[in-house]
Amino acid sequence: MAEQLKPEGEQQKEKQGSKNGNSKLIVGMAAVIILLLVVIVIILLLRSCKKEEPEEVVQQTDNGPRAVVATEENMGSIENDLFAPVNPDGVPMEYIVTQNSDWMFPDGTSASTNAYVENDPANPTNVYFDLEISDTGEVIYESPVLEPGAHIQQFTLSKDLDPGVYGCIITYHLVDEEQNTLTTVQIGVNVIVEN
């Protein structure tokens, strides 16, 4: 059987037709794959968006009540508690320490040349501090009460110290209106007596 030769133009049309068929098949398969991916993404999003109501449980322990699970209904109350400057008992939840860490004194009886302590204006309570030598526990300075925004500087120690570097602890007493201590904060500082 002899093969019938087709004119060249018809052969090109058949090749283009088969190319077009292949292109349509590839585009169709790509569309099906994209559609499947979209369906999978939608299913995953729907699963993750299912609203599960957490159970609010407050359990009494030896250390007091446990934390409350956050829900949409109690979120405002929990945010207020977290960002409140004081807890329900009136005890400050945070204290901003503003001080330098090396206090220079020309000698044991002269005022400091650089000591600085401020009760930051953002703090909710008055404060006073005691300065004690870490090794001995000896108190070498007792500050006056500082209201929020007040500061103290260039003060003199209550004890004449020999020249040297003294590792000290500052104990900040956060106090109420009657100067009762609500809580304390301790910070280290170096007292440097030059002569």
In the chain, what are the domains? 97-193 (2.60.40.2550)
- Mean pLDDT, the chain, whole residue set: 80
Distance, CA of 107 to CA of 161 (rounded, Å)? 8
Q: What pTM value is reported for the model?
A: 0.56
Rg, the chain, Cα only = 38
Q: Which residues contact 167 (CB under 8 A, 6 or more apart)?
A: 133, 134, 135, 188, 190
| C-beta separation of 176 from 125 below 8 A | yes
Q: Please tell me which residue, 107 or 59, carries the higher pLDDT value.
A: 107
State the amino acid at position 125 in one-letter form.
Answer: T
Q: Please tell me which residue, 26 or 60, carries the higher pLDDT value.
A: 26
Q: Is the pLDDT of residue 159 over 60?
A: yes
Band of residue 56 on the pLDDT scale cut at 50, 70, 90: very low
Q: Is the pLDDT of residue 180 over 80?
A: yes
Q: What is the mean pLDDT of residues 126-154?
A: 96
Q: Please tell me which residue, 152 or 48, carries the higher pLDDT value.
A: 152
Q: Is the pLDDT of residue 57 over 50?
A: no
How do residues 7-38 score in pLDDT, each as one tens digit?
565 555 555 555 666 778 888 888 888 888 88
